[in-house]
Amino acid sequence: MIALTLAEIAAITGGELHLAAGDTQETVVSGDVDTDSRNIGPGGIFVAKPGDVTDGHLFIPAAIAGGAALAIVERRADDPVTQIVVPDVVLAIADLARDVVARVRTGGRLRVIGITGSNGKTTTKNMLREILREEGETVAPVASYNNAVGAPLTMLKVTESTEFLICELGADAPGQIARLAGLVDPDVGVVLMVGLSHAGGFGGIEHTKLAKQELVEAIPPGGTAVLNADDHRVADMANAAAQRSVNVRWFGETGSAHVRATDIDVSASGTVSHLVVDGEEHTLRLRVLGAHHVKNAQAALTAALAVGVSPERAIAALERIELAERWRMQVMGSERVRIINDAYNASPDAMQAALRTLAQITGEGERMVAVLGAMSELGERDVEEHAKIGLLAVRLRIPRIVVVGKDARPLYLSAIAEGSWNDEAVFFETADEAYDYLMGELRDGDRVLVKSSNAAGLRLLGDRLGESFS
């Protein structure tokens, strides 16, 4: 974080300052801000956030041991560290993030890019980070730091020399993206797609669209909205951009896109596509598996162009990426038995894309195996959407479908009803049971997809399989 005095931080957060021995109101703090005491180093600021399982106030001693210079708390603790007591620590770090970004923007060249969408946010963020870090100091979230806590913590990492801040903006209810984007007033806003992810929280896909559109509505006049021309709900957001005098740059497969992809070829070694960038032709050779990642790469490229990066430099950076993120189309195992661990997140769109990728990369003489778990937060469409995935798996002629967890049972029942027989589809209550089965079932030439939402925990099953066949 930029250097601020204790008095300034107290004023920004609206908190009550309690000084420890040796500190004054003019004492300067500039360490990292975090809610995890394990991440606190010398001069750090520890945010004691109450949680559902535990309470951050209990970890103030651990933060002090790590070198914390300040604790932002909701109640004063009997620990020897300066504390700022606020009514709500989550709102306090949001206020602090807003102020810090505004100060850096005033004195420097900082440009802010926000990214949202039902799928692909983290992959697109990582791709854009790899492009921009070649151009200047870049701050981007770790993992999926995209909520009311993670997004401000990322924003607070900017310094006076930061040139690019990438904000991944997630939400499971209306208004959340507006609040997060409102902290930074992004110069560029990227909307990837509108799908059924978190549909239960939004109350339907049209409400999801309005929630994602909040990012476009947060872009100041003269800024740029980067929109998916192939998703009609995203394309409709151009109207909101026009009302705010915001420029629109398109990506997709349609002829009108500023960054257009054609001739996409997916293989076990990566994904190759032909790109037309503002009328100029390029070839993109991604090492990341899956046709759907071409769309993420297009979005990152379009955003990079909006902040002045050349197409050649951006494409070269994209081609250097070997892994989008751990547990996202992560290739494991060996040539004998290849494991594709894609079990960090799952929506109906992402599940379909992963299954189609499995079919595309499995060659003659090789066997497809799909290990599938539940998709989370689908609300009233839960059974219907799981059933559709079972139907697709059978229609793709996947000869071994392994379904794990009771929440995914509708997927298994659908596969059976569609015509999967002779144990082509099997069901297990637990990942351990599935692991034992797979260790006896998998054979040379198998190409195994492990796919589920994070909550289903199959990413760890994918890790175990990857290690067993490495």
What are the binding residues for ATP? 117-123
Q: Are 98 and 179 in contact (CB under 8 A)?
A: no
Amino acid identity for residue 321 in this structure:
I
Q: Are 6 and 22 in contact (CB under 8 A)?
A: no
Largest CA distance in the chain: 75
Q: Are 444 and 411 in contact (CB under 8 A)?
A: no
335 burial level (CB within 10 Å; 0-12, 13-18, 19+)? exposed
Quick one: which H or E segment has residue 154?
Answer: helix 150-155
Residues marked as binding? 117-123
Inter-CA distances, 386 with 313, 389, 412, Å = 41, 5, 9
Cβ-based neighbour number of residue 201 at 10 Å: 16
Instruction: Give 262's strand partners.
Output: 274
Please name which of 171, 263, 250, 247 lies closest in space to residue 208, comparing C-alpha atoms. Answer: 171
Distance CA 305, CA 318 (A): 13
